[in-house]
């Protein structure tokens, strides 16, 4: 028994589904073209933490992630596509600086 037959046997009305045409698809301008190019000098915008606890969680995350980054050797950084000098610069930042 097909799904359409089971629906009609239950008394549901038949539904026709049309495939979407390309003209119905819309892409938001922000998703289509970024407003700026992201480089190490222009980092991605960070969402603002909600309240004091959110700010403390963000700071703790920065401390942990920067400590882990500092522990990686140059070979592993290159494997990840990160230049060691950029990793050192990021690891040396204080926790309150984005």
Using a cut of 0.85, tell me whether the model's pTM lies above it.
Answer: no
Question: Residues 68-77: what's their mean pLDDT?
Answer: 94
Per-residue pLDDT at 32: 45
Nearest to 95 by CA among 31, 37, 28, 49: 49
Encode pLDDT of 23-67 as tens digits: 454 544 444 444 555 456 666 666 677 889 999 999 999 999 999
Work out the widest C-alpha separation in the chain, in whole angstroms: 69
Domain boundaries, the chain: 50-98
- Angstrom distance (rounded) from CA 70 to CA 56: 21
Question: Which residues are bridge partners to 39 per DSSP?
Answer: 42
Instruction: Cite the beta strand spans of the chain per DSSP E.
Output: none
């Amino acid at each position: 028994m097909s799904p359409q037959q089971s629906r009609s046997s239950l008394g549901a009305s038949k539904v026709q589904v049309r495939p979407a045409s390309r003209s119905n698809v819309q892409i938001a301008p922000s998703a289509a073209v970024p407003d700026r190019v992201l480089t190490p000098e222009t980092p991605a915008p960070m969402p603002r933490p909600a309240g004091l606890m959110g700010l403390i969680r963000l700071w703790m995350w920065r401390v942990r992630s920067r400590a882990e980054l500092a522990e990686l050797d140059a070979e592993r950084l290159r494997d990840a596509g990160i230049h060691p000098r950029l990793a050192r610069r990021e690891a040396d930042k204080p926790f309150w600086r984005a």
